Structure 1
Amino acid sequence: MNYIIFGGSGFIGTHLIHLLRQECVRPGDKIYDLDLVMPGEEGVVPGIVEKNEGVEYIRADVRQPLTLDFTPTAEDVIFNLAAVHRTPGHPDEAYFETNILGAEQVTAFAERYGIRKILFTSSIAPYGAAEELKTEETIPMPNTPYGISKLVAEKIHQIWQAKDPARELTIVRPGIVYGKGEHGNMTRLYKGQKKHYFFYAGRKDTIKACIYVKELVRFFKYRMIDHSFPGVGLYNCTFEPAYTIEEICTAMQSATGMKSYVPLIPGKLLLFAAAVLGPIGGKKVGIHPARVKKLMVSTNICGKKLAATDYRFHYTLEESFRDWYEDCGRKELI
């Protein structure tokens, strides 16, 4: 059996490879990581591992035709994690070029080698930014180039699946994904509390749907390896119900033994400060208009569909932070 991961050198990919090596790989199985950058290179977000024995790392650009020297089997599975995702941070065309062309090339690769199982990591960005609860039935209304590109990429994968009803496609829309090596929203939240520069932006009840990276990759395993699900499965991947920013801060402090008072700052005042400080260095500590606005708007994503499956979460919110803390030697979340 071959596990073929596109974009496996990043945060989620390193955790997925670790899980596959620990629980899935049998004698004769192979893991292939096809990525534009390799583990340990500049620009790669450090994960839980750098290089894994038994993993073949291949430099590849998903915007170009993809080939691989291997022997396909009927059990092979593709994990398509490749994306330009950080927003803001890239020119608009970069999201479309990588995310859309990447979906086309990955599905063409599956056609070429007769692979019948693909898991595609999409995003909650296709829903658009709004306070209303979003289920998998909610009509997507993306309002960013990233969100639009991800929605188009979903459709490209669905077209691939529709050519053969026996093909298996799982599309996941994760909330905020966190854990060791993330260096994103949750890491900044931890550092902001620890260094006493994080504030509740206008409210404490902003909902921030999220999922622990180890939980996310275990759901990948459940869908693509432990079971067979012909057809298309679309899942929001988040705790159910989703937590508020205050609940997340409380759980994070409890899990790490940190005690930090988090003040509530009026939203208008914070936006003004971000507009002034952002251009002169505030971005380094998260005082940036785009990030402040994201803090003030809920990511109110419903996880009931996932919760209704046979999959069972391995961690509560606080347990996930405690596990992350243990992974970091009980020093700090990195």
Structure 2
Amino acid sequence: MKVSKKITVIGGSGFVGTNLCQTLAHRQIPFEIIDIKQSQRFPEKCKIGDVRDLQSLREAITGDVVVNLAAVHRDDIRDKSEYVRTNVNGAENVAKVCAEKKIRKIVFTSSVAVYGFAAPGTDEAGVINPFNDYGKTKYQAEEKLRAWHSSGDNELIIVRPTVIFGEGNRGNVYNLLKQIASGNFVMVGAGKNRKSMAYIGNIIAFLEKCIETDRKYAVFNYVDTPDLDMNTLVRQVRKVLKGKDSVGLRLPHWIGVILGYAADGFTSITGKKLPLSSIRVKKFCSSTAFGSAKEELDGFTPPFALQEGIDRTLKSEFISPDPKREIFFTE
């Protein structure tokens, strides 16, 4: 990276932020972290600040380029207005402070959730049609930042990642890998549906390129391609962990759906949540495959193949786990 300016990483104590800051530190790029929680890895670089609190941002931000990773994205948020306060109002507050301090560049992580239930292959030109509060407020945040961009000689790069996985992350991809590793996994359906994923090492390299680029404005989906179908993904994991080149047990889709609805009924009656539900069966059997123009950003090439990212994650989490590794449960 050729950047010599100081980078402000808002949300830098999380999974993506910590990995980005690790790379900045390795390359001796000055940076600061602003987050509502202390950074375990870089406490000396961390300032406690909240995007919902304009004054706290005014006091904390001292960089030349702002990378805004802060977001509320969990599905179990009870107070739905928190999506607006953090994602939308937070982005607006960041833009206000950047305008006041004459900071000319923001890199913002949005999400492919802005497209909603999109057709396979949907790229950056796809129709915006979010179905949940997260996707809606992420797009509204983009609009706040576009207004800031158009108000002066400002640079804005928006990145819409698909699901991110990697060493130390305890998100949906990890849960799938863990289930396969346990031996209790059962494939539902034909397994030909594709799932877009993004390996942490690649998304960090892309964010570096976003910081470095001279582009005034751009929007990019981030997806590691080519996508793997579920049969290929499960076979790869089982081969690495079990030495078995197969998907193992398989249920027809219709049986999986019936079992999912039965689990819903059990949960409704008893109040006890099961790992199986009709919506989880639906999500598992659906395709979430997006297109990406990431290579158009100054000839970007991901440093890791998707299969390599999966192998590295499997080794770190299940084959040679480090008990001292920092774990991230909320991303």
Which TM-score bucket, shorter chain as reference?
A: 0.7 to 0.9
Structure 1 length-normalised TM: 0.84
**Deviation per residue, 1:223-276 (Å, 9 max, x gap):** 212x3212x211110022322222222333344455462423424224224414
Among candidates 85, 104, 122, match of residue 97 of structure 1: 85
Q: Alignment partner of 1:159: what SS?
A: helix
Q: Which sections of structure 1, spanning at least 5 residues, go unmatched?
A: 40-49
Q: Structure 1 residues 156, 319: closer, same or farther in 2, change over 3 A? A: same
Q: Determine the C-alpha separation between the residues in 2 that align with 1:318 and 1:185.
A: 17
Give the counterpart letter for 1:196 in structure 2. G
- Give the match for residue 250 of structure 1: 235
Residue 260 of structure 2 corresponds to residue 271 of structure 1 = yes
Give the counterpart letter for 1:38 in structure 2. Q
**Deviation per residue, 1:85-144 (Å, 9 max, x gap):** 112444322212211111111111211211111111101111012444311111100111
Q: Structure 1 stretch 135-144 or stretch 265-274: which is displaced more?
A: 265-274
Residue 85 of structure 2 corresponds to residue 113 of structure 1 = no
How far is 1:289 from its partner?
4.1
- Give the match for residue 19 of structure 1: 23
Q: Determine the C-alpha separation between the residues in 2 that align with 1:270 and 1:307.
A: 42
- Give the match for residue 36 of structure 1: 36
Residue correspondence of structure 1 range 1-334 to structure 2 within 5 A: 1-25=5-29, 29=30, 31-39=31-39, 50-52=40-42, 55-65=44-54, 66-68=57-59, 76-164=64-152, 166-225=153-212, 227-230=213-216, 232-256=217-241, 259=244, 261-266=248-253, 267-276=256-265, 278=267, 281-283=272-274, 286-303=275-292, 305-309=293-297, 310-328=299-317, 330-331=319-320
Q: Structure 1 residues 265, 96: closer, same or farther in 2, change over 3 A? A: farther
Q: Alignment partner of 1:293: what SS?
A: helix
Q: Determine the C-alpha separation between the residues in 2 that align with 1:14 and 1:32.
A: 11
Q: Alignment partner of 2:58: what SS?
A: coil
Q: Structure 1 residues 257, 79: closer, same or farther in 2, change over 3 A? A: farther
Give the counterpart letter for 2:114 in structure 1. P
Q: Alignment partner of 1:68: what SS?
A: helix
How far is 1:323 from its partner?
2.3
Aligned length: 310
Q: Determine the C-alpha separation between the residues in 1 that align with 2:155 and 2:7.
A: 15
Q: Which sections of structure 2, spanning at least 5 residues, go unmatched?
A: none
The answer as to whether partners of 2:111 and 2:162 remain within 8 angstroms in 1 is: yes
Q: Determine the C-alpha separation between the residues in 1 that align with 2:187 and 2:59.
A: 49
**Deviation per residue, 1:171-199 (Å, 9 max, x gap):** 11111100122101111011111113333
Q: Determine the C-alpha separation between the residues in 2 that align with 1:15 and 1:172.
A: 16
The answer as to whether partners of 2:189 and 2:250 remain within 8 angstroms in 1 is: no
The answer as to whether partners of 1:176 and 1:208 remain within 8 angstroms in 2 is: no
Structure 2 length-normalised TM: 0.85
Q: Structure 1 stretch 309-318 or stretch 150-159: which is displaced more?
A: 309-318
Q: Determine the C-alpha separation between the residues in 1 that align with 2:132 and 2:114.
A: 8
Give the counterpart letter for 1:191 in structure 2. K
Q: Structure 1 residues 163, 257: closer, same or farther in 2, change over 3 A? A: farther
Give the counterpart letter for 1:34 in structure 2. I
- Give the match for residue 47 of structure 1: none
State the percentage of identical aligned residues. Answer: 27
The answer as to whether partners of 1:254 and 1:318 remain within 8 angstroms in 2 is: no
The answer as to whether partners of 1:129 and 1:297 remain within 8 angstroms in 2 is: no
Give the counterpart letter for 1:298 in structure 2. S
Give the counterpart letter for 1:19 in structure 2. T
Q: Determine the C-alpha separation between the residues in 2 that align with 1:329 and 1:23.
A: 30
Q: Structure 1 stretch 290-299 or stretch 258-267: which is displaced more?
A: 258-267
